[in-house]
Protein backbone atom coordinates (compact mmCIF):
# COMPACT_ATOMS: atom_id res chain seq x y z
CA UNK A 1 0.00 0.00 0.00
CA UNK A 2 1.28 3.46 -0.74
CA UNK A 3 1.17 6.30 1.73
CA UNK A 4 -2.07 7.76 0.38
CA UNK A 5 -3.87 4.46 0.78
CA UNK A 6 -2.42 3.86 4.24
CA UNK A 7 -3.47 7.33 5.33
CA UNK A 8 -7.01 6.57 4.25
CA UNK A 9 -6.97 3.26 6.15
CA UNK A 10 -5.67 4.80 9.38
CA UNK A 11 -8.14 7.66 9.04
CA UNK A 12 -10.97 5.12 8.81
CA UNK A 13 -9.62 3.12 11.76
CA UNK A 14 -9.51 6.17 14.01
CA UNK A 15 -12.96 7.25 12.84
CA UNK A 16 -14.54 3.87 13.57
CA UNK A 17 -12.80 3.23 16.88
CA UNK A 18 -14.86 3.55 20.02
CA UNK A 19 -11.90 4.59 22.19
CA UNK A 20 -8.89 6.75 21.33
CA UNK A 21 -6.66 4.56 19.19
CA UNK A 22 -3.08 4.24 20.41
CA UNK A 23 -0.08 4.32 18.07
CA UNK A 24 0.80 0.74 19.01
CA UNK A 25 -2.71 -0.43 18.12
CA UNK A 26 -2.61 1.36 14.79
CA UNK A 27 0.79 -0.13 14.00
CA UNK A 28 -0.48 -3.63 14.82
CA UNK A 29 -3.64 -3.15 12.73
CA UNK A 30 -1.82 -2.00 9.60
CA UNK A 31 1.01 -4.47 10.19
CA UNK A 32 3.74 -1.86 10.15
CA UNK A 33 6.15 -0.42 12.68
CA UNK A 34 5.29 2.30 15.18
CA UNK A 35 7.50 4.95 13.45
CA UNK A 36 5.63 4.41 10.17
CA UNK A 37 2.28 4.58 11.99
CA UNK A 38 3.39 7.80 13.69
CA UNK A 39 4.30 9.27 10.32
CA UNK A 40 0.87 8.40 8.88
CA UNK A 41 -0.90 9.78 11.94
CA UNK A 42 1.19 12.95 11.58
CA UNK A 43 -0.21 13.38 8.06
CA UNK A 44 -3.77 12.96 9.29
CA UNK A 45 -3.09 15.39 12.11
CA UNK A 46 -1.99 18.00 9.58
CA UNK A 47 -5.06 17.34 7.48
CA UNK A 48 -7.46 17.53 10.43
CA UNK A 49 -6.01 20.26 12.60
CA UNK A 50 -8.29 22.61 14.54
CA UNK A 51 -9.26 24.75 11.57
CA UNK A 52 -12.33 27.00 11.35
CA UNK A 53 -13.21 25.37 8.04
CA UNK A 54 -13.60 21.92 9.62
CA UNK A 55 -16.20 20.64 12.04
CA UNK A 56 -13.91 18.18 13.74
CA UNK A 57 -10.22 17.65 14.41
CA UNK A 58 -7.83 14.86 15.37
CA UNK A 59 -7.29 15.05 19.13
CA UNK A 60 -4.42 13.36 20.97
CA UNK A 61 -5.78 12.09 24.26
CA UNK A 62 -4.98 9.36 26.78
CA UNK A 63 -2.01 8.28 24.66
CA UNK A 64 -4.25 7.79 21.64
CA UNK A 65 -5.96 9.52 18.74
CA UNK A 66 -9.62 10.36 18.29
CA UNK A 67 -11.72 12.56 16.02
CA UNK A 68 -13.64 15.13 18.03
CA UNK A 69 -15.93 18.02 17.19
CA UNK A 70 -14.46 21.46 17.76
CA UNK A 71 -15.25 22.97 21.20
CA UNK A 72 -16.57 26.12 19.52
CA UNK A 73 -19.37 24.09 17.97
CA UNK A 74 -20.66 22.56 21.23
CA UNK A 75 -23.87 24.62 21.03
CA UNK A 76 -24.93 22.93 17.79
CA UNK A 77 -24.10 19.41 18.92
CA UNK A 78 -26.19 19.92 22.05
CA UNK A 79 -29.13 20.82 19.81
CA UNK A 80 -28.67 17.49 18.07
CA UNK A 81 -28.18 15.29 21.11
CA UNK A 82 -30.97 14.72 23.55
CA UNK A 83 -28.73 13.31 26.25
CA UNK A 84 -27.77 15.64 29.08
CA UNK A 85 -24.29 17.02 28.56
CA UNK A 86 -21.56 16.17 31.04
CA UNK A 87 -21.75 18.35 34.12
CA UNK A 88 -19.17 18.52 36.84
CA UNK A 89 -19.89 20.52 39.99
CA UNK A 90 -17.19 22.72 41.46
CA UNK A 91 -16.87 20.18 44.29
CA UNK A 92 -16.29 17.43 41.73
CA UNK A 93 -13.69 19.54 39.90
CA UNK A 94 -11.88 20.34 43.15
CA UNK A 95 -11.73 16.69 44.14
CA UNK A 96 -10.58 15.70 40.66
CA UNK A 97 -7.85 18.35 40.78
CA UNK A 98 -6.67 17.14 44.18
CA UNK A 99 -6.61 13.51 43.07
CA UNK A 100 -4.98 14.33 39.73
CA UNK A 101 -2.09 16.19 41.35
CA UNK A 102 -1.63 14.08 44.48
CA UNK A 103 -2.56 10.56 43.40
CA UNK A 104 -2.80 8.03 44.80
CA UNK A 105 -4.37 9.33 47.99
CA UNK A 106 -7.05 8.46 50.50
CA UNK A 107 -10.47 9.99 51.04
CA UNK A 108 -9.19 11.38 54.37
CA UNK A 109 -6.39 13.24 52.56
CA UNK A 110 -8.86 14.74 50.08
CA UNK A 111 -11.11 15.83 52.94
CA UNK A 112 -8.16 17.25 54.86
CA UNK A 113 -7.38 19.53 51.93
CA UNK A 114 -10.98 20.56 51.25
CA UNK A 115 -12.04 20.74 54.90
CA UNK A 116 -15.36 19.11 54.13
CA UNK A 117 -16.92 15.67 53.62
CA UNK A 118 -16.34 14.31 50.10
CA UNK A 119 -17.96 10.85 50.26
CA UNK A 120 -20.90 11.54 47.96
CA UNK A 121 -18.89 13.28 45.26
CA UNK A 122 -16.17 10.61 45.34
CA UNK A 123 -18.80 7.94 44.77
CA UNK A 124 -20.20 9.93 41.89
CA UNK A 125 -16.77 10.30 40.29
CA UNK A 126 -16.17 6.56 40.70
CA UNK A 127 -19.46 5.85 38.93
CA UNK A 128 -18.50 8.19 36.10
CA UNK A 129 -15.21 6.22 35.97
CA UNK A 130 -13.22 9.45 36.24
CA UNK A 131 -11.43 8.02 39.26
CA UNK A 132 -10.68 4.49 40.37
CA UNK A 133 -9.66 2.62 43.48
CA UNK A 134 -5.92 2.20 43.12
CA UNK A 135 -5.32 -0.02 46.12
CA UNK A 136 -5.08 0.28 49.87
CA UNK A 137 -2.74 2.38 51.90
CA UNK A 138 -0.36 0.58 54.24
CA UNK A 139 -1.66 2.48 57.22
CA UNK A 140 -4.02 1.76 60.13
CA UNK A 141 -7.41 0.74 58.77
CA UNK A 142 -5.92 0.13 55.31
CA UNK A 143 -7.93 2.97 53.72
CA UNK A 144 -8.66 2.90 49.98
CA UNK A 145 -6.45 4.93 47.66
CA UNK A 146 -7.90 6.84 44.74
CA UNK A 147 -6.33 7.72 41.39
CA UNK A 148 -7.51 9.12 38.08
CA UNK A 149 -8.38 6.91 35.08
CA UNK A 150 -7.92 6.96 31.31
CA UNK A 151 -11.49 8.26 31.11
CA UNK A 152 -10.29 11.29 33.07
CA UNK A 153 -7.58 11.90 30.46
CA UNK A 154 -10.08 11.44 27.64
CA UNK A 155 -12.66 13.80 29.14
CA UNK A 156 -10.13 16.52 29.90
CA UNK A 157 -8.35 16.06 26.59
CA UNK A 158 -4.97 15.23 28.13
CA UNK A 159 -2.36 13.05 26.51
CA UNK A 160 -1.10 11.88 29.90
CA UNK A 161 -0.83 13.10 33.48
CA UNK A 162 2.32 15.07 32.71
CA UNK A 163 0.15 17.29 30.56
CA UNK A 164 -1.73 18.61 33.59
CA UNK A 165 -1.15 22.35 33.82
CA UNK A 166 1.81 22.76 36.15
CA UNK A 167 1.76 24.77 39.34
CA UNK A 168 3.57 27.80 37.91
CA UNK A 169 1.30 27.93 34.88
CA UNK A 170 -1.76 28.02 37.10
CA UNK A 171 -0.32 30.84 39.19
CA UNK A 172 0.56 32.79 36.06
CA UNK A 173 -2.88 32.30 34.60
CA UNK A 174 -4.46 33.79 37.68
CA UNK A 175 -2.06 36.68 38.06
CA UNK A 176 -2.84 37.69 34.47
CA UNK A 177 -6.50 38.03 35.29
Binding site for another protein (CB under 8 A): 15-18, 59, 61, 66-71, 74, 77, 81, 85-88, 90-91, 93-94, 96-98, 100-101, 113-117, 126-127, 129, 132-133, 154-157, 165, 167, 170-171, 173-174
| Distance separating alpha carbons of residues 85 and 77, to the nearest angstrom | 10
Q: How far is the CB of 81 from another protein (least distance, A)?
A: 7
Cβ atoms < 10 Å from Cβ of 112: 11
Q: How far is the CB of 12 from another protein (least distance, A)?
A: 12
Q: How far is the CB of 78 from another protein (least distance, A)?
A: 9
Whole-angstrom CA distances from 53 to 22, 27, 57 are 27, 30, 10
| Distance separating alpha carbons of residues 129 and 144, to the nearest angstrom | 16
CA-angle at 45, arms to 42 and 47, nearest 5°: 115
Nearer to another protein, 23 or 88 (CB): 88
Q: How far is the CB of 5 from another protein (least distance, A)?
A: 22
Amino acid sequence: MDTTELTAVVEALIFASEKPLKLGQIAALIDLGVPRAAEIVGRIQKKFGKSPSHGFFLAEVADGFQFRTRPELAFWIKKLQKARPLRLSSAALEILAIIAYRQPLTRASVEQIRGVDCGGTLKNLLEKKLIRIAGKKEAPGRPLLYATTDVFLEVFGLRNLEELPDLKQIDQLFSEK
